[in-house]
Structure 1
Amino acid sequence: MKELADQAGNFAFLAKDAPELTKLGRLAEHFFLLDAPTSLIKTRQFAELTAKDIAARHGELPDTRATFDDVLRALQRRGLLQRQIADLFFHIKRVGNTAVHENEGTRSEALEALKMARLIGIWFHQVYNQAPNFRAGPFVPPQPPEDATPALREEIEALRKAVSDSADAEAKARMAAQEAIAAQATLEERAAREAEDRAFWENYAAEADRERQTAERTLAQVQAQAVASPVAELSDLAQMADQKAQELEIDEATTRVLIDAQLRAAGWEADSRTLRHAGGTRPEAGQAIAIAEWPTESGRVDYALFIDGQAVGVIEAKRSIRNVAGRLGQSKRYGQDIILTPEQKLTFTPSDDATAFRVPFVFVTNGRPYLKRLETLSGIWFWDARTGEPPRALMDWFSPRDLTARLEQKLDPAALAKTDRQLGVTGLRDYQVEAIHAVEAAIASGQRRLLIAMATGTGKTRLAIALMYELLRAQRFRRILFLVDRKALGIQTLDSMSNTETASLLKFDKIFPIAGMDKAIPDLEDRVQVSTVQAMIRRLFDNPDGQHPTPGSYDLIIVDEAHRGYVLDAELRDDDLGFRNLDDYLSAYRRVLDYFDATQIALTATPALHTREIFGAPVFHYSYRQAVIAGHLIDHRPPRRITTALSQTGIHFDAGEEVAVVDSRTNQVDLFDLEDEVDFEVAEFNKKVHTEAFNRAVATAVALECPPDKPGKTLIFAARDTHADILVKALRQALTEEYGPQPHDMVEKITGEVDRPNERIKVFRSDPRPKYVVTVDLLTTGIDIPSIVNLVFVRRVNSRILYDQMIGRATRRCDEIGKEYFRIFDAVDIYANLQTVTDMKPVVVNPSLSFTTLLGDLNRATTDEDRVWVRDQIVVKLRQRVRHIDPEYAKPLEAVLGPLVALPDQLRDAPPSATADLFARHPSLATVLDHAGNRPRPNGVYISEHEDELVSITDTFGRQASPADYIESFEAYIRANMNALPALIAATQKPRDLTRQDLKDLATALDEHGFSEASLRRAYGTARNADIAAHILGFVRQAALGDPLVPYATRVENGVQKILASRNWTSKQAQWLNRIGRALKDQPVGDPALLSDPLFAQQGGFDVINQTFDSGLGDVLKDLNAAIWSDGSEGGRAA
């Protein structure tokens, strides 16, 4: 009878591979009629055991004793539960918890839970029991109980009709058997049969419980096997799970139950079974309710949304809708035709083409979760009748509070168009004001994603605060999320908000309430919230059952350091969304940005390609070179290359040599006899090989070049935390040997591993010590410490973005220590390595992807660009693979393919079709490459005892070998272009008419060819054994015309004296000329724009000062330029 019970229910298909699940499902069916709460408990046990099994098979089970909630969170965190499946699990967990703790639950809930559990079982069987082609028949419902509600009886009859209409003979037979038993048995006979069966079902339940416990005990073994499995296998399994989840068919009734739950989670009263217009449900004051089947003039809309008794939106929700975006037309019609009483009508201002609408918000959904790559076929599509903007997809439902906040927005674009108004935050620089107006214009034009590119140190945070002030004051937005990627940056931003003064003399945070980083949900009155992206990810995706922000919680998001998204969850390439599941590739930023329905402004100093793909081209750009020219940032001298004996030769271990290797997971040191020679280049030092001698040599160089008694601080970049410890020890020793005993806190490590790292950062910024800090990633971006004058790279990075961010740590001015430039020390040849790095995006998007997966991508690619992209991933992965493949596998492969080492280059130089053809001719090649063993080599970090010594510390001038070569290259460029580039023509032939824009254009052109003022000053100083503080214009004119190199400050002083002596000036005029001269030492060109700087603006600016010069100030400024820079033809050469 037990076997018959296993084979009789809706879960019989699991009997062979997962009998414990079959029994739990069968028991849930059995108790449906007898006791609904018990049925729900068994369904919950079914779902929990399934979730634990899935987690174990992916190696993600937190602990065999982990709670159901913990397991679901772990699966969600790893992107292993597609939203549609996750909704089923969480629904069963919710109703099951109520049954367990309160002994409550209805038969309607039990029936829905059974249907959902079967859907989970079908998906599980297809994916994890390796039955991808399995097709389950229709769900066979139980006989309706005699006391069934009308709604339950209606649903059971609909399910029975679906069985009758199907072609599934087995399902029909089971339903016929049910009917036969029901027809032939009287009430008394059924009671007698139940009494006879009770003992069986009690034994069956006990056996099911034993099997469940046994299955749970074996999960640890399953977990261990998964952890040891190749990454490619787990990746393929996750991909299959995602694919089968998308193919799952959910019926109309279950779709409505899930949508009801989603609406309730967003804060609406919703139950499409009971809260129906036909059942008498009407909106009331103080309610936020979704009423089902509301009448319109053209039919009934699935839901009408009411807040405080007034209609705010309509929802069309049908499982049968395939093209969700395409069905908005019907939903819009309902928005126009909805039948409302005068009291139920909301007053709002529609857009010009929506004047007939009776509600402002229109929605349509088919219940499927939002997928970017299937955007029109999934998600919740939304249209706003007030703006008339194109419809867009949402990942979740707006809350009532969201819609109320939307209705309070002031959408008039004219409010942002007034560029002559006084800004609320005072003391802004001209480029910051330009940036604000550029953003406002873009928003007024309807742009929803914007990028601002401003060099590190130019005041992006202050700009953001000023921008937030303007947008909140205009009530264009109601709440802003300021998103950072680490807590230290969030604290820094909050400090800036509390210190930024406004025109009203109040600090920013006293005008607009701010929610701190620890607040999960902002309060109603909060206007700004600062959060880390990691915290927001946890709030949004770790616990769907808990309280979390809704898509409209913020209507503006400002993303600080937006380039950082590429190093978080996954390295996103948007093109790949057409190939694989979304969660594997979404970076943490992108997941958050896709979730919120908000205008998004990204701030970055280094706009990477992926940043532009998300936000578009910058609406405003202010470069590092522009900021240096304007005197807002400090330039760096040519990098100083630290060369040691080992960095020149590398580290070599001979075959047969005994080496010590540290296991990075356990820190255990083991000894190995090498079977082959092993070599490490300098790029691998401190990553793959531990070498104290190299670090001692580098520390000696740092101590010599950066004495502790010199002003400013030194920041050193290490490869990993343990490497930072080595450098701290070595540098303390080197300083002591060179300068005598030093305070212990002269050198410190600040990484994520130290106690209270944020406090340590504050000490580094504010206190005299430490003067030398070693870090890994914590201080690479966003941290503001102006006194840093030396950067030391003992870590090779291959990303220009990350390198530029690291450089940005030292670009800020620090006048109190007389900082004129900063220095870069390169111990790992990072500068030369990055000369060839032009694309910020790694070629291999996800190193764990198998050859099998990449080959599938190649065959599915539809454009030449995509085919080349995938081919390149295969080539890079193949190059890495053949380098380490075990000779046992290599020999038979080379017998067929020829030399493996040449194969990557052959494929790279051929069209992508050649790669596809190669794998087509050898169908098993991808599998062999995925699973072939590596050449035997100990895993971990090698320990090198090789001796090392400092060889040299020399300047690096890009591709030029010496300062003289650099100067020669510069002079050749100037001579070749002095009559071709307008900026060079102005600098060499028309200095009188020079403007700031000319100077910017000149510096940009020179910078593009590797010529900066600091590098030229260093090169000329080294070649001529004298440090001449000439200006970039001085170097240009020396190369073009032979002008002597005169310190720029001396040029200005001479020029001012020349002008003062040229005529009789009034005392007021002379006073202004001296002031202008002092300003010109920082702002190298005298034009009317100079007089708009704060020093002059507070005295009335150009217009007022011009009156002092009888409206001739413009000519006076030109004469001053000529006096500073002129050659003989324009009044004599400067001394």
Structure 2
Amino acid sequence: MPVDKTSLSEQDICTQFITPAIQQAGWDFTTQVRQEFSFTAGQIIVKGKTVRRGKPKRADYLLYYRPNLPIAVVEAKDNSHSVGAGMQQALGYAAEDALALPFVFSSNGNAFLFHDKTASGGPQETELPLGQFPSPEELWDRYCQWKGLKTGSREVVTHEFYSDGSSKSPRYYQLNAINRTVEAIARGQDRVLLVMATGTGKTYTAFQIIWRLWKSGVKKRILFLADRNILVDQTRVNDFKPFGNAMTKITNRKADKSYEIYLALYQAITGNEDDKKVFREFSPDFFDLIVIDECHRGSASEDSQWREILEYFGGAAQIGMTATPKETEYVSNINYFGEPIYTYSLKQGIQDGFLAPYRVVRIDFDKDLVGWRPEEGKTDRYGHVIEDRVYNQKDFDRTLVLDQRTIAVARKVTEFLKGTDRYDKTIVFCEDIDHAERMRQALVNENADLVDENRKYIMRITGDNAEGKAELDNFIDPENRYPVIVTTSKLLTTGVDAQTCKLVVLDRRIKSMTEFKQIIGRGTRIKEDYGKYYFTIMDFKKATELFADPDFDGPPICVYQPKPEEPPVPPEDEMDNAPEGETESGEMDEEGEILVGDPEPPGIGLPGGGGDGKPKKYYVGDVQVSVAAERVQYFDPTSGKLITESLKDYTRTRVSQEFASLDEFTQRWTSAAKKLTIIEELEEQGVLFEALAEEVGKDLDPFDLICHVAFDQPPLTRRERADNVRKQNYFTQYGEQARAVLDALLDKYADEGVENLEDITVLKVDPFSQVGTPLEIIQTFGGKDKYLEAVRYLQSRLYDAAG
């Protein structure tokens, strides 16, 4: 008898019809097919001090031509759905901002609906009988024609990535970046730009690209360039370690030409004089591939010494990698490398669950908002007469120092850490080295108890201080407790892998979007085994207003203009925000640190001035500073932007997208077997229940929060709902022990919320553990089903008692 497909589950449809059809087409389920494959991690959702992950994106079938080449996705539905019911879901998985696959299938066990993005001129969607599913070779041939891959280049593209047999393999977006780059190089493209958010594994991606091109024999001698010594050293001992003896680092200004993989610091192979330009000891055609890390820095400028290296090896394929391509009228990555071949943004990383979400604590001081003007003849603590004008936020810590403001920042940072964890790794970004030192002193005074325990609890890590720089590895190493708090100006803005940093403090005016993205990137890494799931940005100088800029998470746009004979001076903010270790002339030492141009120590008068008799800075200690405003802002998981409106307005908008009316919401709530399911769905849509409850200021459960905030209903507190149920005396139908359990459940609800009613493990804790074991308690109700029935009825009475 024929099988009644309508009675089968989706899993049965897969097992009996879809899987056999794919196998019969020649697909090897050992190496070419992954089933129930989650390609994202699930967005991190923060609930007060607890976190959970949202649902990951999961493909029913992901088909690979080779282990490194995903090529098609298949979405299955049970037979009560149409053959194309899963197509829109599958197209979402195959979209350019996801798996980026050309071939998409949907099936209900009767046939396949086939969507072919490579089709030109013909229909994109056709229905195929089960027995006509395309073979691997058929799809691969279509893929190669679509990508313009000729016979010779196909061998390069199919070469596998490196694997040491462990579970680590490229994430889907890394594989997209690797494959697109390898395909571009195989087609003969000689300039490639990859844009990947900080914390998404750019160096690991670079390693896999180099590995495949090197192992396939297409590129034989490769140069990896960086502009910080720590970046080169981290790369050599971590991601690039498999290159082994084929790899060397160019040091001591010597060119050993017996290796195949070279790592180099820009500054180690160039200089102002020709005899110091070590790169010229290699012939121009020595390298056939160059990978430029953090290419938004020096190599973006066409007249830099670093660009000279790239132009000298101009015949080599060159790959630029950055989280923040630099695009101004004067400097352009796109003008040199071309449009990005692949982009993976901060927003995508957070939504996929690979990067940490953030919240912003914005603090404004009175003097920052209204300014400060000295009385006539007022002198600073070094006896300098302070110029008579209004000083505002742009001046503070640059031309005028208010000691009380520095102390106020240190106090607010310390208060925050005392309310969370005083051993949370923290970076405080300051205006310059002088400011970083004064901030260190202020933080030491506010945290004297922990500094007494270990003097390295707080350290200044800046380019001029050898002792501080020596602690950088300890700060970024999760296993080292100290230092905990570091103050810096620009040294930590880029390339520092601070995996456990939970607090980023901005006491620095930032107008460069490039620098802002780099600084935010210090906190975006997730380190689950150390409890790092999200981070906080504490902003004292309105820097986080840049979150509202369309360029914050948008695609890079080239605005470069060819340089005139006398180039204009870049805007002040571009110069002010040059990375530490990079001056207007680009002079650096071999460690990637600054040679000239650092701010001078405090107290310098005429020698440190500008030649007009004025000091570089005035230092004032007797002007009081107070907090004028403080507010918390949250990351919107749906838009990827900072929530700037009130949480009430934001929640009303989010809820209205899910529920058209109060009736629709209450009906869904009361009919749901588990209220937690609705709560989690709304959290994934961006509703912040914990923060909303704090703003409303009452102990309301999610039901009342939504009814009150989104639909303007008068709320009941959890305690009021519990008391209303008790007044109904419905407990009398149960025995004494069962009544005691239900009464305790009501107290749990009143104190902590509805989640406790739906979690049977609550019976393991007090006061239930005093009644008996979970099994004994359940038996007092007549078994598990009777217990769950009693809990469901209790819930229904809670919400029927709304009044």
TM range (shorter): 0.5 to 0.7
Q: Determine the structure 1 residue equivalent to 2:492.
A: 779
Distance 1:759 1:1027 in 2: 49
Distance 1:1028 1:466 in 2: 51
Q: State whether structure 2 residue 495 is matched by structure 1 residue 761.
A: no
Q: State whether structure 2 residue 649 is matched by structure 1 residue 968.
A: yes
Match of 2:632 among 939, 942, 955: 955
Match of 2:365 among 606, 624, 644: 644
1:1017 and 1:1027 in contact (8 A); partners too: no
Q: Which amino acid aligns with 1:734?
A: E
Secondary structure of the corresponding residue to residue 515 of structure 2: helix
The correspondence of residues 551-562 of structure 1 with structure 2, limited to 5 A, is 551-562=284-295
Q: Which amino acid aligns with 1:693?
A: Q
Q: State whether structure 2 residue 444 is matched by structure 1 residue 722.
A: no
Q: Deviations over 1:286-321 (max 9, x none)?
A: xxxxxxxxxxxxxxxxxxxxxxxxxxxxxxxxxxxx
1:724 and 1:774 in contact (8 A); partners too: yes
Over 3 Å counting, the alpha-carbon distance change for 1:466 and 1:976 in structure 2 is same
1:800 and 1:834 in contact (8 A); partners too: no
Q: Deviations over 1:314-363 (max 9, x none)?
A: xxxxxxxxxxxxxxxxxxxxxxxxxxxxxxxxxxxxxxxxxxxxxxxxxx
Residue 498 of structure 1 deviates from its aligned partner by 5.8
Q: Which amino acid aligns with 1:457?
A: G
Distance 1:654 1:726 in 2: 25
Q: Determine the structure 1 residue equivalent to 2:121.
A: none
Q: Determine the structure 2 residue equivalent to 1:509.
A: 243
Distance 2:476 2:699 in 1: 30
Over 3 Å counting, the alpha-carbon distance change for 1:961 and 1:946 in structure 2 is farther
1:644 and 1:948 in contact (8 A); partners too: no
Q: State whether structure 2 residue 454 is matched by structure 1 residue 743.
A: yes
1:821 and 1:1014 in contact (8 A); partners too: no
Distance 1:695 1:485 in 2: 32
Q: Determine the structure 2 residue equivalent to 1:792.
A: 505
1:1018 and 1:1027 in contact (8 A); partners too: no
2:271 and 2:277 in contact (8 A); partners too: no
Over 3 Å counting, the alpha-carbon distance change for 1:836 and 1:487 in structure 2 is same
Over 3 Å counting, the alpha-carbon distance change for 1:968 and 1:468 in structure 2 is same
1:967 and 1:1016 in contact (8 A); partners too: no
Distance 1:442 1:515 in 2: 27
Q: Determine the structure 1 residue equivalent to 2:257.
A: 524
Q: State whether structure 2 residue 526 is matched by structure 1 residue 819.
A: no
Distance 1:817 1:1027 in 2: 31
Q: Which amino acid aligns with 1:972?
A: T
Q: Which amino acid aligns with 1:940?
A: K
Q: Determine the structure 1 residue equivalent to 2:193.
A: 451
Residue 649 of structure 1 deviates from its aligned partner by 2.8
Residue 625 of structure 1 deviates from its aligned partner by 2.3
Q: Deviations over 1:361-405 (max 9, x none)?
A: xxxxxxxxxxxxxxxxxxxxxxxxxxxxxxxxxxxxxxxxxxxxx
Q: Which amino acid aligns with 1:1020?
A: L
Distance 1:554 1:467 in 2: 16
Q: State whether structure 2 residue 663 is matched by structure 1 residue 942.
A: no
Distance 1:1026 1:595 in 2: 67
1:765 and 1:787 in contact (8 A); partners too: yes
Residue 710 of structure 1 deviates from its aligned partner by 4.2
Give the alignment's TM-score, normalised by structure 2: 0.54
Match of 2:309 among 592, 595, 602: 592
2:207 and 2:240 in contact (8 A); partners too: no
Aligned length: 502
1:963 and 1:1020 in contact (8 A); partners too: no
Q: Determine the structure 2 residue equivalent to 1:612.
A: 334
Q: Which has the larger radius of gyration?
A: 1
1:832 and 1:958 in contact (8 A); partners too: no
Residue 729 of structure 1 deviates from its aligned partner by 0.7
Q: State whether structure 2 residue 173 is matched by structure 1 residue 431.
A: yes
Distance 1:430 1:763 in 2: 31
Residue 475 of structure 1 deviates from its aligned partner by 1.0
Match of 1:480 among 216, 219, 222: 222
Secondary structure of the corresponding residue to residue 470 of structure 1: helix
Residue 1012 of structure 1 deviates from its aligned partner by 9.5
Q: State whether structure 2 residue 119 is matched by structure 1 residue 442.
A: no
Residue 802 of structure 1 deviates from its aligned partner by 0.8
1:1020 and 1:1027 in contact (8 A); partners too: no
Q: Which amino acid aligns with 2:154?
A: A
Q: Determine the structure 2 residue equivalent to 1:1023.
A: 695
Distance 2:493 2:701 in 1: 30
1:449 and 1:615 in contact (8 A); partners too: yes
Over 3 Å counting, the alpha-carbon distance change for 1:539 and 1:756 in structure 2 is farther
Residue 438 of structure 1 deviates from its aligned partner by 1.1
Q: Determine the structure 2 residue equivalent to 1:684.
A: 395
Q: Which amino acid aligns with 2:649?
A: E
Q: Alignment identity in percent?
A: 24
1:683 and 1:795 in contact (8 A); partners too: no
Distance 2:180 2:283 in 1: 29
Q: Once structures 1 and 2 are overlaid, which stretch shifts more, 954-963 or 753-762?
A: 954-963
Q: Which amino acid aligns with 2:434?
A: T
The correspondence of residues 890-969 of structure 1 with structure 2, limited to 5 A, is 938-951=614-627, 953-956=630-633, 965-969=646-650
Q: Determine the structure 1 residue equivalent to 2:298.
A: 565
Residue 495 of structure 1 deviates from its aligned partner by 1.4
Q: Determine the structure 2 residue equivalent to 1:414.
A: 154
Secondary structure of the corresponding residue to residue 452 of structure 1: strand
Higher share of residues assigned helix: 1
The correspondence of residues 1097-1116 of structure 1 with structure 2, limited to 5 A, is none
Q: Which amino acid aligns with 2:270?
A: I
Over 3 Å counting, the alpha-carbon distance change for 1:438 and 1:845 in structure 2 is closer
Distance 1:498 1:799 in 2: 32
Distance 1:1029 1:786 in 2: 35
Distance 1:842 1:648 in 2: 35
Distance 2:456 2:532 in 1: 23
Secondary structure of the corresponding residue to residue 781 of structure 1: coil
Distance 1:824 1:418 in 2: 43
Q: Which amino acid aligns with 1:965?
A: S
Residue 954 of structure 1 deviates from its aligned partner by 2.3
The correspondence of residues 71-86 of structure 1 with structure 2, limited to 5 A, is none
The correspondence of residues 386-425 of structure 1 with structure 2, limited to 5 A, is 412-418=152-158, 421=160, 423-424=162-163
**Where do 5+ consecutive residues of structure 1 fail to align?**
1-409, 500-507, 573-584, 661-668, 847-852, 859-869, 881-933, 980-987, 989-1002, 1058-1135
Q: State whether structure 2 residue 552 is matched by structure 1 residue 810.
A: no
The correspondence of residues 179-194 of structure 1 with structure 2, limited to 5 A, is none
Q: Which amino acid aligns with 1:717?
A: F
Q: Which amino acid aligns with 2:156?
A: L
Residue 937 of structure 1 deviates from its aligned partner by 7.5
Residue 835 of structure 1 deviates from its aligned partner by 3.6
Secondary structure of the corresponding residue to residue 517 of structure 2: helix
Over 3 Å counting, the alpha-carbon distance change for 1:976 and 1:697 in structure 2 is same
Distance 2:689 2:322 in 1: 29
Over the residues paired in the alignment, what is the CA RMSD in angstroms?
Answer: 4.9
Secondary structure of the corresponding residue to residue 651 of structure 1: coil
Distance 1:654 1:808 in 2: 42
1:700 and 1:950 in contact (8 A); partners too: no
2:437 and 2:460 in contact (8 A); partners too: yes
2:253 and 2:276 in contact (8 A); partners too: no
Distance 1:454 1:600 in 2: 17
Over 3 Å counting, the alpha-carbon distance change for 1:961 and 1:768 in structure 2 is closer
**Where do 5+ consecutive residues of structure 2 fail to align?**
1-149, 576-609, 661-668, 670-680, 719-748, 762-803
Q: Deviations over 1:933-976 (max 9, x none)?
A: x9978251122234234425421469999987244146437747
Q: State whether structure 2 residue 237 is matched by structure 1 residue 495.
A: yes
Distance 1:542 1:411 in 2: 45
Q: Determine the structure 1 residue equivalent to 2:346.
A: 624
